[in-house]
Amino acid sequence: MCLIARALEQAGIPTVIMGCAKDIVEYVGAPRFLFSDFPLGNPSGRPHDQESQYLTLGYALDLLANAPGPMTTWQNPIRWSENPSWKEDYSNVEKLSAEEIVRLKAEFDRGKEIAKAKREGDAA
């Protein structure tokens, strides 16, 4: 995404990247980056939490309008959890039982099948 954002910026289209992998995004060089200290895949706010999603979008638009210069990073003040232990627990396979791993794999596989069916239906 950062490379696309940089190409758009060169064409005169301003961009903001919203993401959760600060080290990677800053290394690649996003023109403007709103960092959310959330689990990967959740850069737009907490799932099913419209308020956090609207606030996050608002912060991104503020960044777009007010960035002081290139390669600007702002941190989203919204927290995933007040307890930082989520970073140790989130998707940590070592803390899951064998049954939970099987259940999560089956759930993931179902999601892939749904996406595949949708793609095939859209292509038809």
Does residue 91 register a pLDDT over 80? Answer: no
- N-term to C-term CA, the chain: 29
What pTM value is reported for the model? 0.72
User: Residue 103 corresponds to which tokens in the numbers above?
Assistant: 């259940």
> Helix, strand or coil for residue 18?
strand
- Beta pairing, strands 17-19 & 32-35: parallel
User: Which DSSP symbol is given to 5?
Assistant: H
Does residue 12 register a pLDDT over 80? Answer: yes
Q: What is the mean pLDDT of residues 51-79?
A: 94
Does residue 52 register a pLDDT over 80? Answer: yes
Are 26 and 49 in contact by the 8 Å Cβ rule? The answer is no
Q: What is the mean pLDDT of residues 17-23?
A: 92
